[in-house]
Structure formats: C-alpha cells, structure tokens
C-alpha cells in the first residue's frame, strides 16, 4: 500500500509540473508613465500666486492678475529661444530647457538635485548648458542635521570655509572635490572613503570630516550641507560616475537614470522658475503687474503647504524634462492657469463632432439695408413741478386749517373785608406782558407738538 501511495503522489506531481509548463498564461503589458508638463505650469502658477499673497497682495488687486498674465507670455518668449529636447519621436523645448534659457542659475547658483532624494544633480550654467554630477549608488544621500544636535564639519569651498552636515562621508567627499579644485586639478574618481575605528573621522581621498556630539549650528535636510548659513546640496563627483561638464540640456536629459524620472521634482526648481518669470516680466516696458520682490524672492519652503494640499498635482522629473510642443489641443504650452488646482477638462468626443446645425433648415432672414423699423418711442420726461406735486399736494384739507380764536376774561375775585376789595393786580400784570407771554406759550406748544410727532 505504501508503494502505491508513493507512485500516485509521484504521478500527481509530474502532472502538475507538466501543466504549469505548457498551460498558457496571460501577460499584460504595462504602459509607460505619461509625462504631464502641465503640472509644471500649475506648480509655477501656484508658486507665483502664493508668493504674492504671502507678501501682502490681495487676489482682487488688478496687479495680482496682471502679474500672472505678463509672466506667461514671457515664458513663451523664452521658449522660442530655448534649446529643443528630444525624447522618442518628439522634439520641442521642455521646462528643463526653459529653466536653462531663463537663467535659473542666477537664483540657484549651486548644483541642485532634480528629484527629491535623487541621484542626479544639475548646475545651470550661464551659457544655457548643464554641468552634471551624480551620487554613486550606495553612497548615503545624507542624514538630516538638527540645530544643537550631533553633526559633522569639514573645510570645503573655494575659497575655503567650514560646512556642516548630518552625513560625514558625503561631507568628506565634498571636501576632497573642493581641495582638488583649489589646487587646479580635475575631479578624480580614484579615491576611497574610510572611517576611523571610533567613528569620529571620515577620510575620503584628500578630504576629511570630523564628528561632533552636539552643538550643530543650524538645521539642514537630508542630502544637504549647511554652507555659509544656507542649506545647499552636495556637488561632489564620487566614483564610479564620470563627470560631465557643459553638455546641452537634451544630452543631460538622456543621462538621467530611469530611477529618477518618476520621483517628485525638487521644489527649488519651481521656485527658481517662478522668480525668474516674475523678474523678467517686471522688467518689460509697460509692465502693469506687481513689482518683483528683489530682496525677498520666492523660496522652496513656501511651496510646502501647496505640495501637501495637492500631492497629485506636483510634477515629477519626467514632467520637467519631457518635450512640450504646441498642439491643436494645447496651443499655449507655457501658459499659467489662473486656478492651479482646477481640473483639466478634455471633452470626449471632441465638441461639434458628428452634429448638425440646428438652424440649417431655417436660414436667417435678411431684412435689407432699410427694414422700415421706426425708432423706439420714449415717454415724456416729467418736469420738476410734476415731480414735486405729489409732495406739495399732500393732505390738501389741512391747507386751509385755522385755529379759532378764544376770548377770555381775566378772573377778578372780590374780597369782603372791611368793605369790598377787587383783586385785579394780576390781570394788570398779565395784560402789560401779553406779547412776551404769547411768544413763550407759542414756543412751548410748538415744542410739545414736535415731541409728540417725533415720538409717534
């Protein structure tokens, strides 16, 4: 019995194996992510509008709308002279080439990561080209540093200065790259990084970084260093990635690793685009928008609330580098929407497709040059007397009202005491002061009448 059970089990296993090999399975192809350059337009518009509001300008100020309206054409003008980017079969300017042409390097003067926690850094050159640098796989992108907490320090820059970071290895790599720059040497990739046994010092080629348990002079996010009081990205060129200097934007786009394309775009780039668009629009003749805040430009930190409120509308690196040609459905690819969060309505099917003109069977009647239609008649304009008559003729029965006169006799009492005495001294007093008493009583009765009318 045991032998038969084993044989049956072996047969079942063989059948299942054969079925799994020869039974066809359905494999569904996955579509590549579609770039949406309009998300960059939304983000730039949101940066401009939130920047104007935070600087005390109301949305109902005519200059508020004019600023947005003048910045969009300026972007279109820049796009006309921007380098084309080729992705697949599409060749057209992209937001990346707009950023290079509009000189965002004047605002972002350091190598900035395209994506948040991305691999590739770009430095926008004044000549419209890109200096590329990349973080080698496996190298930490950086640990955040909190003010007062632990940190690493190193001597970096040309000229030299002290920088601080939460990542000692990355800071030591930066010190090595800057030391070679000071010596007039090209970046080198043939160096190694190692740490002392007590983890207090990082050595990377010619660069070193020292650890401190507390007292960090400021805060800096992951992947950055505090350099002259500003948190900036690293621009070292670590192994094994070869440096690429002064390449066209289209070439730099082709070098972006696929791992970075669908990561969220760095807000620093959106803030720089918004600043440059506002600044260049404000410099045009006849500009009627808000003045550009030269001493208080829009920062990436100001975009954080909008990003948190609209995560689905924030652009990716793919949206930033994808060619954005003008099409029939999108004739103004560089326009800035007045409402960045409004949905994009794409009618399906397209309007007026397969429909007839409802007035086709009833053509318009042509009345000719003189249809003999008289001029409209207007009512006669009333005179001033006619306008005032309803008030002047109010209550006509009271117009002839007269108060009837009263004839009174001053009382003169008599007193019988040692003869008859007539008391009329008061009558003589009143009679001698009749005009004054009449005026006083007239005023008193008029005041009483007025109080009665007002209290009604």
pLDDT for 118: 76
- DSSP lists the bridge partners of residue 201 as 210
pLDDT for 241: 41
- Answer left, alpha or beta for residue 87, where phi above 0 means left and psi between -120 and 50 means alpha: beta
Query: CB of 46 within 8 A of CB of 306?
Result: yes
Which residues of the chain register pLDDT less than 70? 1-33, 134-142, 186-190, 236-245, 344-372, 398, 401, 403-407, 456
Query: CB of 202 within 8 A of CB of 172?
Result: yes
What are all long-range contacts of 423-429, with beta carbons under 8 Å and residues at least 24 apart?
Answer: none
pLDDT for 21: 42
CA distances to 205, 380, 452 from 240, in Å: 14, 94, 102
Query: CB of 86 within 8 A of CB of 101?
Result: no
pLDDT for 127: 84
pLDDT for 347: 43
pLDDT for 358: 56
pLDDT for 123: 83
pLDDT for 154: 93
C-alpha 172/C-alpha 166 separation (Å) is: 12
pLDDT for 429: 87
C-alpha 243/C-alpha 88 separation (Å) is: 25
The token pair that represents 344 in the structure block: 């994009």
pLDDT for 362: 59
- Answer left, alpha or beta for residue 88, where phi above 0 means left and psi between -120 and 50 means alpha: left
- DSSP lists the bridge partners of residue 227 as 163, 230
pLDDT for 239: 39
Angle of helix 267-282 relative to helix 38-54, nearest 10 degrees?
A: 70
C-alpha 343/C-alpha 11 separation (Å) is: 60
The token pair that represents 288 in the structure block: 């009627």
Residues counted in the chain: 456
Q: Residue 104: CB partners within 8 Å, gap ≥ 6?
A: 124, 269, 272, 273, 275, 276
Find where tokens 């928008």 sit: 289
Query: CB of 268 within 8 A of CB of 108?
Result: yes
pLDDT for 136: 44
Q: What is the dihedral of CA 227, 130, 261, 168, to 10 degrees?
A: -30
Q: 394: buried, middle or exposed (CB in 10 Å: 19+, 13-18, 0-12)?
A: exposed
The token pair that represents 267 in the structure block: 């807000």
Angle of helix 267-282 relative to helix 62-81, nearest 10 degrees?
A: 100
Q: 353: buried, middle or exposed (CB in 10 Å: 19+, 13-18, 0-12)?
A: exposed
List phi, psi (to 5°) of 177: -60, -40
Q: State the pTM of this model.
A: 0.51
List phi, psi (to 5°) of 217: -75, -10
Q: Map the chain to HEC letters.
A: CHHHHHHHHHHHHHHHHHHHHHCCCCCCCCCCCCCCCHHHHHHHHHHHHHHHHHCCCCCCCHHHHHHHHHHHHHHHHHHHHCCEEEECCEEEECHHHHHHHCCHHHCCCCCEECECCCCEEEEECCCCCEEEEECCCCCCCCCCECCCCCEEEEEECCCCEEEEECCHHHHHHHHHHHHHHHCCCCCCCCCCEEECCCCCEEEECCEEEEEECCCCCCCECCCEEEECCEEEECCCCCCCCCCEEEECHHHHHHCCCHHHHCCEECHHHHHHHHHHHHHHHHCCCCCCCCCCCCCCCCCHHHHHHHHHHCHHHCCEHHHHHCCCCCCCCCCCCCCCCCCCCCCCCCCCCCCCCCCCCCCCCCCCCCCCCCCCCCCCCCCCCCCHHHHHHHHHCCCHHHCCCCCCCCCCCCCCCEEECCCEEECCHHHHHHHHCHHHHHHHHHHHHHHHHHHHHHHC
pLDDT for 187: 66
């Amino acid at each position: 019995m045991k032998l038969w059970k084993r044989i049956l089990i072996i047969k079942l296993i063989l059948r299942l194996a054969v079925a799994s090999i020869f039974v066809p399975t359905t494999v569904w192809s996955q579509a590549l992510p579609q770039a949406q350059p309009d998300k960059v337009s939304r983000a730039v518009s949101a940066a401009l509008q939130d920047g104007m509001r935070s600087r005390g300008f109301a949305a109902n100020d005519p200059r508020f709308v004019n600023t947005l309206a003048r910045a969009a054409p300026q972007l279109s003008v820049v796009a006309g002279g921007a380098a084309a980017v080729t992705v697949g079969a599409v060749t057209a300017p992209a937001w990346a080439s707009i950023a290079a042409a509009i000189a965002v390097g004047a605002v972002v003067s350091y190598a900035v990561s395209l994506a948040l926690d991305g691999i590739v850094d770009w430095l926008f050159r004044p000549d419209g080209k890109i200096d590329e640098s990349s973080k080698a796989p496996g190298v930490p992108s950086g640990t955040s540093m909190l003010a007062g907490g632990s940190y690493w320090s190193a001597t970096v820059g040309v000229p030299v200065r002290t920088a601080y970071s939460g990542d000692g290895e990355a800071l030591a790599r930066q010190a090595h790259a800057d030391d070679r720059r000071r010596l007039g040497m090209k970046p080198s990739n043939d160096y190694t990084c190692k740490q002392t046994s007590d983890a207090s010092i990082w050595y990377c080629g010619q660069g070193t970084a020292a650890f401190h348990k507390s007292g960090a002079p400021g805060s800096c996010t992951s992947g950055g260093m505090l350099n002259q009081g500003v948190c900036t990205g690293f621009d070292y060129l670590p192994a094994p990635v070869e440096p690429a200097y002064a390449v066209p934007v289209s070439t730099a786009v082709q070098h972006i690793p696929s791992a970075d394309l669908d990561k969220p775009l760095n807000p620093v780039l959106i803030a720089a685009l918004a600043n440059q668009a506002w600044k260049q629009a404000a410099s045009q003749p006849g500009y009627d928008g808000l003045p550009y805040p030269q001493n208080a430009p829009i920062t990436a930190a100001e975009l954080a609330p909008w990003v948190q409120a609209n995560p689905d509308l924030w652009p990716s690196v793919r949206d930033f580098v994808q060619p954005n040609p003008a099409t029939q459905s999108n004739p103004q690819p560089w326009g800035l929407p007045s409402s960045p969060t409004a949905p994009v309505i794409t009618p399906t099917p397209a309007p007026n497709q397969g429909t007839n003109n409802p007035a086709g069977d009833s053509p318009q009647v042509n009345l000719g040059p003189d249809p003999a239609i008289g001029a409209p008649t207007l009512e006669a304009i009333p005179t001033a007397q006619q306008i005032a008559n309803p008030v002047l003729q109010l209550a006509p029965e009271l117009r002839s009202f007269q108060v009837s006169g009263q004839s009174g006799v001053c009382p003169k009492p008599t007193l019988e005491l040692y003869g008859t005495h007539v008391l009329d001294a008061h009558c003589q007093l009143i009679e001698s002061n009749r005009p004054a008493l009449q005026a006083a009583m007239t005023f008193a009765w008029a005041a009483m009448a007025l109080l009665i009318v007002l209290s009604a």
